[in-house]
Amino acid sequence: MILMLFAGYTLIYIDKTVMGFALLPIRAEFNFTPQQVGLIPGLFFFSYTLFQIPAGWLNDRLGYRAMLVMSLALVGVCALLFGWWGLGLGWLILFRMLAGIGHSGYPSASAKTVTMTFDLQHRTFVQSLLLSSSGMAMVIGPLLAIWALRVMHWQQMYMVFAALFLLVALLMLVLLPKHGQQQQEVAAPSRGSWRLMFRHPLIWQLIIANVCVNLPAYSLMAWLPSFLVKEHGLSMAVTGEIISIGGIGAWASSIIGGWLVGRYGSGREPLVILCTALVAACGLLGIYFSTSLMATIVILMITNGATFCTFVFTFTLPLKRFEPRIMGTTVGFLNACGVAGGFIGPIVIGYLVAASGGDYFTSFLFMMVAIVIAGLALLPGSRRPLISPQHQESL
């Protein structure tokens, strides 16, 4: 089960990663303007954000098995259509928007699978292991995209991706348990549970933390290449290799950190999140002031690792604090907030760079403040569980 979930998550993250590379030949082939090219990923993230909450709601009602299969199948079909029928801007935007809907269902379905399958002590590590696929995608995604676009047309590349998505969806349909899930699933959330969730301070703390941790994560992903090219005079090829190496830090730290917190840090997650956030903030400052290429690589690995740990520990905290019957909705809601932060961050960085005459200091300062706020947001009262006494007795 974990292997299939990990494979699905890896494909989801690689699909996001290779889009930036695929847009280069797409723009050249259709002679799109930069504004037109920007609509393709922009509206993808719009639909991805918009459907997080409905996808979580459906997950609580249809079950995680159905949502996992439908999410991957929809992304696979959209990838096939993107490569086969993407004959103009309108079609390309439409198929990526529909793919965003498919993407929106996977995080909450995966989180609910972990909640319903593993006990409290193992949830953080398992979810961290699954989310480490993002780090793996950061490592292999750019290299895979460059290789694929060298040996085949971008349309063929997306058809290959479509086959992989549909294959994993089929495997989940065949291999994931049916009856076991039905026995474990709990009743649909009641209005009282919804009121309890939104009345509890932890949900609002998690909203702040999710927004603030995604601000620097997405901003660094979007603007780091430009910063390295401008400040260090690197080529795009070398910059891509550096970013791939930096992804190793995110991948390794998520697995090791998730195991350590799950094994030794149960009940102390907010303090761990604060520590990793502070390390990430120091790393961001180090990237800006670094004058050595090797030092930049090392600091980037540490920064990516600390940032990703902050994200993973924040994302997995609801798995130990909220009732399983509303887990899909809760994760979908919080993921929507996080992706919204990812929207805002790169836009703000663009304005800050322009206002500073091309200097990035205020941009790195903005990212540092955001991730420190993410670490501080979860400290007050976040150790109090929000799991019903009846469910606690069953664990």
| Whether 212 and 164 share a structural domain | no
| Whether 161 and 202 share a structural domain | no
Choosing from 132, 151, 177, the residue where a domain stops is: 177
| Whether 229 and 285 share a structural domain | yes
Query: 185 lies in a domain?
Result: no
| Whether 167 and 287 share a structural domain | no
Separation CA 312–CA 249 (nearest Å): 13
Phi, psi at 132, each rounded to 5°:
-65, -15
What pLDDT is stored for residue 347 in this prediction? 75
Return the higher-pLDDT residue of 103 and 130.
Answer: 103
HSE-up of residue 330 (Cα within 13 Å, Cβ side): 32
What pLDDT is stored for residue 62 in this prediction? 84
| Whether 75 and 144 share a structural domain | yes
Query: 48 lies in a domain?
Result: yes
Find the mean pLDDT for residues 300-321. 82
**164-173, 177-186, 238-247, 386-395: range with lowest mean pLDDT:** 386-395
Query: For the residues of 38-76, what is the DSSP string, one character each?
Result: HHHHHHHHHHHHHTHHHHHHHHHHH-HHHHHHHHHHHHH
What's the domain range around 39? 1-177
Which residues contact residue 79 at a Cβ distance below 8 angstroms, ignoring those fewer than 6 apart? Answer: 15, 95, 99, 158, 159, 161, 162, 165
| Whether 153 and 231 share a structural domain | no
Choosing from 177, 205, 222, the residue where a domain stops is: 177
Return the higher-pLDDT residue of 5 and 112.
Answer: 5
Query: 184 lies in a domain?
Result: no
| Whether 288 and 366 share a structural domain | yes
Average pLDDT, the chain: 80
What's the CATH code of the domain at 231?
A: 1.20.1250.20
| Whether 57 and 92 share a structural domain | yes
Query: 392 lies in a domain?
Result: yes
Evaluate the CA torsion angle 7, 8, 9, 13 in order and state its sign.
positive
In whole angstroms, what separates CA 236 from the centre of its chain?
A: 24
* 304 neighbors 132 (Cβ within 8 angstroms): no
* 334 neighbors 205 (Cβ within 8 angstroms): no
What pLDDT is stored for residue 394 in this prediction? 40
Reference 391, options 294, 331, 321; nearest CA is 321
Which residues contact residue 144 at a Cβ distance below 8 angstroms, ignoring those fewer than 6 apart? Answer: 14, 18
Q: pLDDT tens digits for 246-268? A: 777 777 776 676 666 666 556 67
Find the mean pLDDT for residues 57-61. 80
What pLDDT is stored for residue 224 in this prediction? 80
| Whether 258 and 163 share a structural domain | no
What pLDDT is stored for residue 197 in this prediction? 63
Choosing from 146, 177, 208, the residue where a domain stops is: 177
Which residues contact residue 317 at a Cβ distance below 8 angstroms, ignoring those fewer than 6 apart? Answer: 206, 269, 270, 273, 378, 382
Q: What is the pTM of this model?
A: 0.70
Query: 319 lies in a domain?
Result: yes
Q: pLDDT tens digits for 17-40? A: 788 778 878 888 999 886 687 788
Query: 186 lies in a domain?
Result: no
Coil, strand, or helix at residue 279?
Answer: helix
Query: 183 lies in a domain?
Result: no
| Whether 155 and 225 share a structural domain | no
Find the mean pLDDT for residues 326-346. 76
pLDDT at position 75 over 90: yes
pLDDT at position 69 over 70: yes
Query: 376 lies in a domain?
Result: yes
| Whether 235 and 140 share a structural domain | no
| Whether 229 and 104 share a structural domain | no
Categorize the per-residue pLDDT at 384 as very low, low, confident or very high, splitting at 50, 70 and 90.
Answer: low
What pLDDT is stored for residue 262 in this prediction? 62
Find the mean pLDDT for residues 232-250. 75
What are the counts of helices (DSSP H) followed by strands (DSSP E) for the chain? 18, 0
- How many structural domains comprise the chain? 2
What pLDDT is stored for residue 167 in this prediction? 96
Task: State what percent of residues in the chain have pLDDT above 90.
Answer: 26
**8-17, 120-129, 159-168: range with lowest mean pLDDT:** 120-129
